[in-house]
């Protein structure tokens, strides 16, 4: 059995609803676009991302 680390591919702010997605090309978070509209939230928010202690990046493989 081996272990694979699986990073999150999306995140959203619990305070202002900003949504980000992981961009493999730039290896960075970018603002998500939904129906042509960027999900920027509040630019003055100190973002509280929804990735917390419940998120488990470890996946066991056979």
Q: Looking at residues 10-17, what average pLDDT do you find?
A: 92
State residue 35's pLDDT score.
Answer: 96
Residue 41: left if φ>0, alpha if ψ -120 to 50, beta else—which one?
left
What is the value of pTM for the model shown?
A: 0.72
**What's the pLDDT band for 6 if we cut at 50, 70, 90?**
confident
| pLDDT tens digits, 15-61 | 998 999 999 999 899 999 999 999 999 989 999 988 776 777 788 87
Facing residues of 4 across strands? 59
**Which of the two residues, 41 and 7, has the higher pLDDT score?**
41
CA distance 51 to 37: 23
């Amino acid at each position: 059995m081996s272990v694979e680390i699986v990073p999150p591919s999306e995140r959203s702010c619990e305070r202002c609803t900003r949504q980000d997605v992981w961009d493999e090309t730039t290896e960075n978070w970018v603002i998500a676009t939904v129906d042509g509209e960027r999900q920027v939230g509040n630019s003055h928010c100190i973002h509280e991302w929804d990735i917390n202690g419940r998120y488990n990046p470890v996946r066991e493989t056979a």
